[in-house]
Every structure is written in structure tokens, then in C-alpha cells.
A and B are shown apart, each in its own frame.
Chain A
């Protein structure tokens, strides 16, 4: 029996298959399709301090092997999250990692303090990288703001912290290093790549928000390169995200250096994928003669080695 559990700083997960924030609702929507006990963790949709209506539709558009989204952190705010969603989530037979976004460092601190006081959470993911929110700061485009958010949240919140990073920067390793130095237990990357779709006949952008975040199989090679780069250059556990659709994709990210992965867009078009892929993991490990996930993490052999 293969050892599937993985440890990321202070966070230990039953297996490395995590479902990404914003792609799994508040879990209850998926109860008919997924046995939650088969997942390493669930990350519910980003919660903000106040309710947000979100962006005007259309909010998504399909692109070749991918999709653009500009949802705009549509959510009912932290009070509603704690009162309506957390009681359901904390009863589920898997780890729950809340995901928060603040417009300011103080908002991050307030959200983290409140969730840190709630029972039943395994960790906290900091959404430093939502590309679709105007008025807020994209914290993870700057190592100093990244560092400040992580450090100040760490000071008030006892939960293991994951810093979710944007690929829309010149060098993501600098940001990852800043998050690690400030006390993040892990970094998760990548969030979506900013993109755009145009209806030339109407001479209009297709999305209501004009630009949106690209996700899905189309971004997998881009994400894999960034995950590999961070994993080899920064001493912090990495959670790989970006277009993962099959068990082969999972194995590629693990070998490239990810210690866990998040499945995102695949949940939209293959609602039982997370459970199925989780079940396929032991056989894939056996293919490499491995008896644990940890044995294969970052074992990529470079040409010439």
C-alpha cells in the first residue's frame, strides 16, 4: 500500500490531490459527484471581508483547450462564510483550507484572525493573486507586499499558510522566496494568466470585465515550467496548479517538484475527475517503483545528468 500522504510545512494532507479555490464552489455543490474522503483537501471559493457581487457577465469564455474567467470574487463575505458554509465544510471527511483575499494588508489580517479562531480548518490559503479585482492591490506582483501580508497574517493566525502566487510577474521565484522568508508553509502556483478574447464583428471584448484569467490544459506547460523553477530554486514546499486534467499531469507536476497539486478547471468539465485521479495515483506511483508520493517529488532528471 503506497504512502500517499504529503507534508507541506505544518500541513499534512492525506494525499496530494487538492481541489482549487473557485473551482469547487463550497463543496456541497459537488456532493453528488465526489466522495470527499478521496481528496487531500478542499479549498472553497475565496472569501472577502464584505460581500461582493462580482463582475458583470459574461464572466467566462472558452478558448482553445482553456477558458478565460473574470468572476470577480463573487461571494457573500466572511460573516456569511462562517455562518453558512463553514459548518457544512468542517463536517466533511477531508482537510478544509480556507482561501481569503483582502484589499489591504489589514483586511488580510482581520480575515486570518477570524478564521484562525474557527475550529475545523486545516490551513489558510492567501489569494495574493486574483487578476480580476479592480481597486485591490495585486499583492503577489511585489516581493515586499507579499512578505508583509504573509508575515502579518502569520503573527495572528495559527493555521498553516499557503501563499497563492500569480504567474503574471517577471520572476516568480523572487515572490516565492519572499513568501517563504516571511513564514509561508507552502506556495501554490500558478493562478491564472491574464488574457483576453475579442469579438471582432462587434468590436467588443467578450468578457464583461474585458480581461480575464486563462486556465485549463492550455496553460499546463507554462505552469509546469514555473513550478519546476520555484521548486528547484526556493526552499519551500510547492503546490502545483495549472491545467491538470489527468493522472499523467499530476505525475508530471510531482516529478517536476510539486509536493501536492490543485485541480481546477477540470472540475468544471469532468466533475468526477478529482476522485478518479486520486484513485489512479497508487498505480502511477507503482509504475515508477515508488512506495510513497514523497519519494518522487522533485526527482526530475535533467538531460545530461
Chain B
């Protein structure tokens, strides 16, 4: 594993923008079944974070659960003067930590560190971008749509329209799981919905829906691994460049534990890369998905 200098992530000490501390919950809203939006009062994070990056979040004053959980930026929150004052995170209740979040209220505190990870690519000059989400994989795309359409500034970079058109393809198990659809519609992106049971939009996989529409010039995916694998295969077949944002079991989010590795192609064959510092966004063509036989 080559430990690349994560210069885009952890700048240097103690630079404003790399934050670790306790922050207050400003509000919590249920968006869908088992799905909540959590607003954190964290101005340092809000000023620095870019679409596709994530934060680690944990419960304070306990060692059980022990580790933080990686959660993508949903969007930054601006005050009346347009200054970033908070970050929104959207989470699905899946386990021991997320299961303890829903009862938390405004004023309760969480520990958080970030921003972490490389973030989504600059797609300047691309006419039509397709964002493909499955399950809870839509959450990193709201800020990205706004960045691509020049609607919002992130990480201190001036807002600038990068692309002509953004389409979101969003697949869920059933209608009650769809979270944030109105937020996406409000951005000006074209929203295409799919569900496994047909209770919302197209009945079937989101990748099947994508194949029925105008193929975008660049695809970016986030969701369950089988969906990402299908998307990578589709992109390869159609000759469309594609990036994927991965979620892997992560202990630190910082690049120090070497837990969250994924196998990628390298000049020498393959090697593991840490999803937290070399990702979470990878070029689809670089990903192997299956671990090759031991070398």
C-alpha cells in the first residue's frame, strides 16, 4: 500500500479547516423511513468541507460504541449573511451508533472530525453529468449538484458553473425510503426515480433506468456495491467516464488504521488503497471490486 501524502485532506497543523471537537446538534428532522437529517453547528467544518468529503461522527462520553462512523456531507448550512455555519448529514439507521442518534435533540452534542477524503472531481467542460444513487447513496450528491451548477461555493472556492446539465438517477427499495427528493428537485437537476417494488417511479434497478435515458457524458455513482459494480460495467460498455464513491468499514477516517482498503489497479498489478484518504471517490476503471488471489 502506497501511503500518498493526503495533502488535499489534512493540510497541516493546526490549520483552520481541519476540525476535531464537540459540536451541538442544531436540529434533527426525519426525511424517510429510518432516515434522518442531522444539522450540526460546526462553522470551521462548514467553511472547509467540499462535496464528496465526509466527517467522522461519534457519541461523546462513551466507549461503547467506540469508533466514529463516516458520514458524507449532505450540504452546508449558511446564515443570513451567506456564511457557512453548519453542516447537514443524512443518515440511515443501520447499527449501534446510528441507532442511538434518532432520539437526540437540538442542543445535544456529538464529536466530529473532518473534513476527510478527496471529494468529487471537478467536471468543468462536461455537458451532461449523471449522478447515480442507490439506497442511502444519494446523500453526497446534493452539495455536488449545487457545486456543478455553480449554485453554491464550497471550501472557500468561488461558485462557478462547471456543467450544462445534471441528472440524478436515484433508486430505493420502496417509496418510503426516498429521502431528500424535494431538495434535489430544488437544485435544478433533473430527477429520475426508481424503486425495487415499483412504489416510486421506474420499477427496477436504477442502472436499468439509466440505460433507458440519454446517456450522460460523465457518471458518478454512490450506493451498494452490486449497484456500483453494475454501473462501472455499464459505463465501460458505453465508453462513459465514471467515478464511484465508496463506503467501506472504517475505524479512523484519517488514514492511520489501514482498515478501509479497497483493491485497485496499479502499474505493478494491484494494491490496496485507503478509501478514507485515497478515496472515497475513485475512478471506476481503477477499482477491482474482487480481491485478487493472495500475492
Contacts and interface: CB of A to CB of B under 8 A. Distances in A.
Q: Do A and B bind each other?
A: yes
A272 B3 CA distance: 21
Nearest to B252: A268
Nearest to A29: B255
A10 B219 CA distance: 58
B63 A60 contact: no
B258 A59 contact: yes
Looking at chain B's contact residues, is the secondary structure mostly helix, strand, loop, or mixed?
loop
Q: How large is the interface on B (under 10, 10 to 19, 20 to 34, 35 or more residues)?
A: 35 or more
B64 interface: yes
B249 A271 contact: no
Given A32-B10, A268-B67, A53 B271 contact: yes
B63 to A, nearest CB: 4
Contacts of B102: none
Nearest to B261: A57
Given A29-B277, A272-B20, A69 B259 contact: yes
Interface residues of A, number: 46
A265 B254 CA distance: 13
Contacts of A60: 249, 251, 257, 259
A25 interface: yes
Nearest to A25: B256
Given A29-B277, A76-B2, A216 B252 contact: no
Given A53-B272, A57-B249, A59-B261, A30 B67 contact: no
Interface string A256-292: 0000000001011111100000000000000000000
Interface in B1-24: 1-3, 5-6, 10-15, 18, 20
Interface string A18-43: 00001111101111111100000000
B257 A71 contact: yes
Contacts of B261: 54, 57, 59, 74
A66 interface: yes
B291 A271 contact: no
A29 B254 contact: yes
B259 A59 contact: yes
B63 A65 contact: yes
A271 B15 CA distance: 15
B58 interface: yes
Given A28-B5, A33-B10, A69-B259, A269 B15 contact: no
B256 A24 contact: yes
Contacts of A57: 248-249, 259-262, 291
A35 B251 contact: no
B291 to A, nearest CB: 5
B3 A85 contact: yes
A33 to B, nearest CB: 6
B256 A269 contact: no
B258 A31 contact: no
A216 B66 contact: yes
A25 B2 CA distance: 12
Given A60-B259, A61-B249, A31 B1 contact: no
A154 interface: no
Interface in B233-273: 248-249, 251-252, 254-262, 271-272
B65 interface: yes
Given A53-B295, A65-B66, A85-B3, A32 B271 contact: no
B113 interface: yes
Looking at chain A's contact residues, is the secondary structure mostly helix, strand, loop, or mixed?
loop
Interface string A49-92: 00001101111111011110101001110001000110000000
Contact of A32 (B15, B252, B257): B15
Given A62-B67, A271-B113, A76 B251 contact: no
A47 to B, nearest CB: 12
Nearest to B7: A28
A164 interface: no
A56 B65 CA distance: 24
Contacts of B295: 53
Given A32-B14, A54-B258, A57-B248, A66 B20 contact: no
B258 A71 contact: yes
Nearest to A73: B258
A24 B10 CA distance: 14
A290 B248 CA distance: 47
B251 A31 contact: no
B68 interface: yes
A31 B255 contact: no
Given A62-B66, A67-B251, A269-B66, A23 B257 contact: yes
B256 A268 contact: yes
Q: Which of A22, A61, A74, A267 has the most CB of B within 10 A?
A: A74
A216 to B, nearest CB: 6
A217 B14 contact: no
Q: Which of A22, A34, A53 has the most CB of B within 10 A?
A: A53
Contacts of B64: 64-65
A272 B251 CA distance: 15
A30 B291 contact: no
12 contacts: A23-B257, A29-B3, A33-B113, A35-B14, A54-B261, A57-B260, A58-B249, A58-B259, A67-B251, A69-B257, A71-B259, A268-B252
Interface of B: 1-3, 5-6, 10-15, 18, 20, 58, 63-68, 96, 111, 113, 248-249, 251-252, 254-262, 271-272, 277, 291, 294-295
3 nearest CB pairs, A to B: A32-B18, A25-B256, A32-B10
